[in-house]
Amino acid sequence: MTLRIWQVDAFADKLFEGNPAAVVPLEAWADDRRMQQIAAENNLSETAFLVKKAAGKYDLRWFTPATEVDLCGHATLASAWVIFHRLEKNLDEVRFQTRSGELIVRRGEGDYLAMSLPSASCRPLAPPDGFARDLASALSASPPQELHFADKGGAGAGTLVAVWPHAQAIGALRPEGNLGNLLLSVGAHSLIATAPGFDDYDFVSRFFAPAKGVAEDPVTGSAHCVLTPFWAGRLGKSRLKARQLSARGGTVLCTDDGARSLLEGKCALYLTGEIQI
């Protein structure tokens, strides 16, 4: 069997920036084990599989190298780019049916794609004694000023949100091998580290999901479903510009729209190929 595959850098102003995602269209769903094997072989933070149901309508699923996840923003954006530029070039909008409900991506201004995702709220977390100290040690950092917990967002249910006072602290984080177990001790599968922004950025972040097989995700759309309402409330503005401070880096334009977060970004095509299975 031959399958088409595209690798797209999402939330990237240029090639080799943003977050790479593989996009694999299927005629019908393959065996879950086979899709997981393909994702592991691709060894990207996400591989998106999509099945066309009608013009501009697709079923969509996402796999990390280790597991299937409920929501992935950057691979959704990459999938829309492939549809708009390779599969159905006449479209201005595509609708995806997913584990997180219907997701809509539209062509935006210029080269931007605009994606609507469900927002996720977070609440203050009162951690066990010593947890903040242990978290700081696992990240080679000073302790965060605040800890919050989101039931959804990032790599799935259970996301810890840690807030530092300055952007420099986020860029300096150096996670160690025990981070995953430490997060699991408070019921979190991932960590969003965030701080106020710099220059014209309203906030910055980094994202770690070792329990999901993703040591660090370069740019995480689903994490911004937590961060958009969080920072919109704090800054008193609905339109925000965010920067994820991974080694690759990426920019996300965010709009707080109540129950939805509107995320905009650009994409850059890296690879077109075929899978032989």
**What are the pLDDT digits (tens) for 156-209?**
568 999 999 999 999 999 998 899 999 999 999 999 999 999 999 999 999 999
Residues 17, 46, 216, 264: which is the catalytic one? 46
Same domain, 128 and 253: yes
Structural domains of the chain, count: 2
Q: What is the mean pLDDT of residues 227-242?
A: 98
- Percent share of the chain, pLDDT over 70: 98
Q: What is the mean pLDDT of residues 4-19?
A: 96
Torsion from C-alpha of 16, 17, 22, 23, nearest 10 degrees: -110
Instruction: Kindly indicate the confidence band of residue 153, based on its pLDDT and cuts at 50, 70 and 90.
Output: low
Same domain, 75 and 167: no
Same domain, 171 and 152: yes
Global pTM value: 0.88
pLDDT value for 177: 82
Same domain, 248 and 136: yes
Same domain, 190 and 74: no
Same domain, 90 and 127: no
Q: What is the mean pLDDT of residues 239-243?
A: 98
CB-CB contact of 215 with 180 (8 Å): no
Same domain, 217 and 159: yes
What average pLDDT is seen over the chain?
94
Same domain, 214 and 91: no
Indicate if the pLDDT at residue 47 is higher than 60.
yes
Q: What is the 3-state secondary structure (H, E, C) of the chain?
A: CEEEEEEEEECCCCCCCCEEEEEEEECCCCCHHHHHHHHHHHCCCEEEEEEEEECCEEEEEEECCCCEECCCHHHHHHHHHHHHHHHCCCCCEEEEEECCEEEEEEECCCCCEEEEEECCCEEECCCCCCHHHHHHHHCCCCCCCEEEEECCCCCCCCEEEEECCCHHHHHCCCCCCCHHHHHHCCCCCEEEEEEECCCCCCEEEEEEEHHHCEEEECCCCCCHHHHHHHHHHHHCCCEEEEEECCCCCEEEEEEEECCEEEEEECEEEEEEEEEEC
Same domain, 10 and 128: no
Quote the domain boundaries for residue 218.
Answer: 122-258
Indicate if the pLDDT at residue 91 is higher than 90.
yes
Same domain, 188 and 222: yes
Same domain, 144 and 242: yes
Kind of pairing, strands 190-196 and 203-209?
antiparallel
CATH number of the structural domain spanning residue 193: 3.10.310.10
Query: Residue 100 is encoded by which pair of tokens?
Result: 């997180």
pLDDT value for 157: 63
Same domain, 156 and 101: no
Contacts of 130 (CB under 8 A, 6+ apart): none
For residue 274, indicate whether it is catalytic: no
Q: What is the mean pLDDT of residues 22-33?
A: 98
Contacts of 109 (CB under 8 A, 6+ apart): none
What does the alpha-carbon distance between residue 178 and residue 181 come to, in Å, rounded to a whole number?
6
CB-CB contact of 231 with 221 (8 Å): no
Instruction: Kindly indicate the confidence band of residue 110, based on its pLDDT and cuts at 50, 70 and 90.
Output: confident
